[in-house]
Amino acid sequence: MYKISRILLAVTLMGGAMQVFAQEPLDGAYVKTTTKEKEVVPYDYVREADVFWAKRIWRTIDLKEKMNLPFKYPQQPLAQIIHNAAKNGELTVYDPSVIDADQFKKVLTIEDVKKIGTSADTLYQPNALDPDKIDTVMVKNDFAPEKISKYRIKEDWFFDEKNSVMIARIIGVAPVMPVTTSSGTTMEGDLTMYWVYYPDLRPILAKFEVFNPKNDAVRLSWEDLFEARMFESYIYKESNVYDRNIQEYATGVDALLESDRVKNDVFIFEHDLWNY
Do residues 54 and 161 lie in contact, with contact meaning Cβ atoms separated by under 8 Å? no
Whether pTM > 0.85 for this model: the answer is: no
pLDDT at residue number 144: 87
Q: How confident is the model at residue 18 (pLDDT cuts 50, 70, 90)?
A: very low
Return the higher-pLDDT residue of 118 and 81. 81
Backbone phi and psi for residue 175, each to the nearest 5 degrees, phi listed first? -70, 145
- Average pLDDT for residues 206-229, to the nearest whole number? 87
Return the higher-pLDDT residue of 221 and 11. 221
Over residues 35-58, the pLDDT tens digits come to 777 788 899 999 999 998 999 999
Closest CA to 45 of 145, 167, 136, 130: 167
Do residues 118 and 143 lie in contact, with contact meaning Cβ atoms separated by under 8 Å? yes
Closest CA to 257 of 272, 244, 268, 246: 246
How many Cβ atoms sit within 10 Å of the Cβ of residue 1?
Answer: 5
Q: How confident is the model at residue 223 (pLDDT cuts 50, 70, 90)?
A: very high
Res 3 pLDDT > 70: no
Over residues 110-165, the pLDDT tens digits come to 999 998 888 777 777 777 777 778 777 777 778 888 899 999 999 999 999 998 99
- Average pLDDT for residues 224-246, to the nearest whole number? 93
Beta-strand relationship, 234-238 and 150-160: unpaired
pLDDT at residue number 72: 85
Dmax over CA atoms of the chain, in Å, equals 92
Q: How confident is the model at residue 257 (pLDDT cuts 50, 70, 90)?
A: very high
pLDDT at residue number 20: 41
- Cβ-based burial of 46 (10 A; exposed 0-12, middle 13-18, buried ≥19): middle
- Average pLDDT for residues 1-18, to the nearest whole number? 54
Do residues 138 and 120 lie in contact, with contact meaning Cβ atoms separated by under 8 Å? yes
- Average pLDDT for residues 79-88, to the nearest whole number? 94
Number of helical H runs and strand E runs in the chain:
6, 9
**What are the sequence ranges of the domains in the chain?**
37-117+145-271
Q: Which amino acid is at 201?
A: L
The region that residue 275 occupies, defined by phi over 0 for left and psi between -120 and 50 for alpha, beta otherwise, is: beta
